[in-house]
Chains A and B, each alone.
Chain A
Amino acid sequence: MGKYIAKRLGQAVVVLLIVTAIIFLLVNVAGDPTANMLPLDASEADRQAMREAMGLNRPLFIQYMDFLGKAIRGDFGNSYRYNLPAINLALQRMPVSLQLAGTALLFAVLFAIPLGILSAKFANSPFDLVVSSVSVLGRAMPNFWIGILLILLFAVNWKLFPVSGSGTAKHLVLPAMTLAIQSASQIIPLIRSNMLDVMQEDYIRTARSKGVGEGVITMVHAFKNALVPVVTVVALEIPGLIGGALITETIFAWPGLGQFLIQAINNRDMSVVQVCIFMISVITLFANLVADLVYCLIDPRIRY
């Protein structure tokens, strides 16, 4: 196991190197950061002077090597906009993003597991039909629409939660629900279909013939075996929820990494974009590794 983890970590370093190169190239071809820093009608001479002062006139390869050399030491450069170290600015937003992602995932799992199991248990019943329809609807509805709908219902009309912002548990509910609805909508059909497959297996029939109760069969024999693919989906949801909640964070004015990233892209704040994507890549790799290790816990037959 130790050897496997070491090998995966080694691969992660290579992946991160490739990711940094791609981010660097993409961010550089995306546009000139001075376009948004100077007044729109500043002269070309002024822009050129600013590019020189910021070192943006150097060859791209030199800029990349400079970036890489510093990145290895944990220095991703200063944000052009904030004039502060980009890594610190991104880390500053990480706790609020983790808070939102953690809550959303918790909501999603708490909704999805019972609904998925019950849906399989009562397959093709009216209950199953309703759950399946709602989960299809959840996947089909764009996040911004769900978010605005929740704001109008729960904040403007019923005044149960604040419209936006952060600071209290109440502030967390609507953005977490927005994200959870989409995540749960992915997980519910997966649990349902896996449960239906597993319930057809011989060992389930054997357990039934031995007189094992339906509850034990469902939760112990069937659900555990249906869980492996679900773990993969949940693991892949984590980086998406932390770094990819761009729209939800913007709608709810949630001061997390997603909103920070979208502003940095708009402002061409290269250092910030680089560090945000880098952090999301690290989280993705880590989440995948954890998912692989969790497989072993769920199914002892899996060994690396």
Chain B
Amino acid sequence: MKKGKVRSNLRMWAGLTAAILAAMSLYACSGGGSAATTAAPAATAGAPAPEAQPAQTQTAAAETTAGAPAPASTEAIPAPAPAAAEPKKLVIGAASDIVTLDPQNQTQTNTQDLFATIGAFLFKRDLDFVIQPDLVTDYKQVEDTVWEFTIRKGVKFTNGEDLTASDVKFTLDRESAPDSGLAAWTYYKCITGTELVDDYTIRITTDIPRPDMLSLLAMSQAVILPEDFITANGMEAYILAPVTAGVYTLKEWVPDDHYTLIPNPDYYGEKATWDEVVYRPIPESSTRVSELLTGGVDLIYNVPVNEWGRVSSNTDAGGTSLAYGETSRVMLLIVRMTDGQPLSDPLLREAVELAIDKTTICDALLQGAGVPTRTRVGSSVPGFNFDLFGAQADLYNPERAKELLAEAGYAPGELVLDMTASSGRYLMDAEMAQMIAAYLQEVGITVNLELVESTVISTMFTNKENKDLLMIGLSDGQYDGCYPLAHYGDLERGAGQTDYNSPECQKLYQEALVEMNEDIKQEKEREIQAIAAEDRPHICIAQINAIFGVNNKYELNPRMDTNIVPDEVTLK
């Protein structure tokens, strides 16, 4: 009896153990292991593979790359002596993964990084952020609303097809279609028509004169799509395995794990610097820093202030350091100046700005990773007003703020403002909001500060649910002065949010929007900034820097759009 029970128990345990082991083996062999995932790009780039097509697409892409001295074809090439040299590999740790392989349906920095590297554009921005021709060999403005572009011949997509003006037309038509449902439409809706002049020349018509046309064409959403491939296989096939014409090509994407780039052997320009570039999304900042310190990655984005010491003092893996990059992101307070609200009084808005010590926020809190500003426009954006930037943008004067409060009829503590800010969305945002609230308290303004989760702040912003003050960081996706100034010049933008209504700004904005003379355009943009700085629908605090962590073996000069372009990273 006893032995029988023992046997029964043994059987049960043996069964359970076998089941667990079988399950473990299944997990390991199921393709869930990254080894299997990386070995099968077709499965990883979108496991769905609903039809046979995407799988064929992936093969086609692989065949294209195999024709070159890329890893897949090294066996077929007679090995030259230096082949034994270690391949030059760059590993970059990003805060988040790319969101899609549809370049026209995204506005995210990491996805822009990818397309800036694998795509061909009519124009590109160089390291100094100056717009340079990429595919374009010649261009002219035929009429105020018509541009003509001639593109270079002999450029090939990674599937071997020629890149022609027809592909440019297809690209722009897709993202300017009113029913496209694409994120890029908000930028390209101004394009009302495209017309082929010949195989390598295209005319683009806009609704109104667009002086910012070149900057639009240099955005990551304007990467040229292969018309024939997409027409034949559908956009889903492209999303599974993009056919591009940039300096690198996408070897594989394992969502949430990594994507790998290898040189495009048919690239028309200067050859790629790296044999392989790997981007790894590592959302948790302390993990990202640990990866940098241990040499798991060579560069990382977004080093939080509390980790700066760890990065700067590290000597492991060759040592690491910080790299500061200017951005167009401005931390600002959105002011509800609607009639009947307390901050509709300009004296109170001025008191708020004068109460805030921007220099201390930048120096002590941001430890130099920010510059005081009074304008929403980034300092490297054309049309920027330099008079509103730096030390002169800090108007800190608590005594005058108290006087203004009294002039507006408020006793100390009588004015109560509701303020909302995010926690964890921007560099030291919660701490910055708390400092601002403390400065306001100091001059006699009571602040009810509410800190909300990162995504809540964007919902409050877009739904115009802001209370008296809402702190947010706004950047410029187009790097053209008119883009960030739309709030002051377009009545609809401010309606329900700041309710700012300045006929003067609106007039200047409408003029700047269609002004083809760049100098005059920028002068008008500077005027708008000066007016808005005095009217204060936004109380700008600081333009913040991007902070990168870099292994000391590498040299990184950060760009204003915070993109890391692999060929702009060099070995020391």
Q: Which residues of A are at the interface with B, using a C-beta cutoff of 8 A?
A: 31-32, 34-47, 49-50, 53-54, 81-85, 87-89, 91-99, 102-103, 106, 144, 148, 151-152, 155-156, 159, 162-168, 171, 212, 216, 219-221, 224, 250-253, 255-256, 259-260, 263, 266-268, 297-298
Contacts and interface: CB of A to CB of B under 8 A. Distances in A.
Contacts of B462: 32, 34-35, 40, 47
A159 B294 contact: yes
B459 interface: yes
Interface string B22-54: 011001101111110110000110111010000
Contacts of A164: 282, 284, 287, 290-291, 296
Query: B interface, how many residues as a size bin?
Result: 35 or more
A95 B458 contact: no
B363 interface: no
A166 B107 contact: no
Nearest to A297: B12
A156 B47 contact: no
Given A42-B186, A250-B283, A259-B256, A84 B458 contact: no
Contacts of A45: 492
A167 B9 contact: no
Given A39-B186, A266-B455, 18 more contacts: A35-B458, A35-B463, A37-B183, A38-B186, A40-B462, A40-B474, A43-B493, A50-B185, A84-B239, A89-B46, A96-B32, A99-B30, A103-B24, A165-B257, A168-B35, A216-B6, A220-B2, A260-B256
Contact of A39 (B235, B258, B477): B477
Contact of A251 (B178, B186, B284): B284
Contacts of A266: 454-455
B75 interface: no
Contacts of A84: 46, 48, 236, 239-240
A-B pairs, top 3 by smallest CB distance, nearest first, are A95-B32, A53-B181, A88-B48
Contact of A89 (B178, B255, B458): B255
Most B Cβ at <10 Å: residue of A167, A219, A221, A250:
A167
Interface of B: 2, 5-6, 9, 12, 20, 23-24, 27-28, 30-35, 37-38, 43-44, 46-48, 50, 96-97, 99-100, 102, 105, 107, 178-181, 183, 185-186, 189, 235-236, 239-240, 254-258, 280-284, 286-287, 290-291, 293-294, 296, 454-456, 458-459, 461-463, 472, 474, 477, 484, 486-487, 490, 492-493
Nearest to A148: B286
Most B Cβ at <10 Å: residue of A31, A144, A168:
A31
A53 B32 CA distance: 35
B181 A50 contact: yes
Given A85-B48, A164-B291, A298-B12, A40 B458 contact: yes
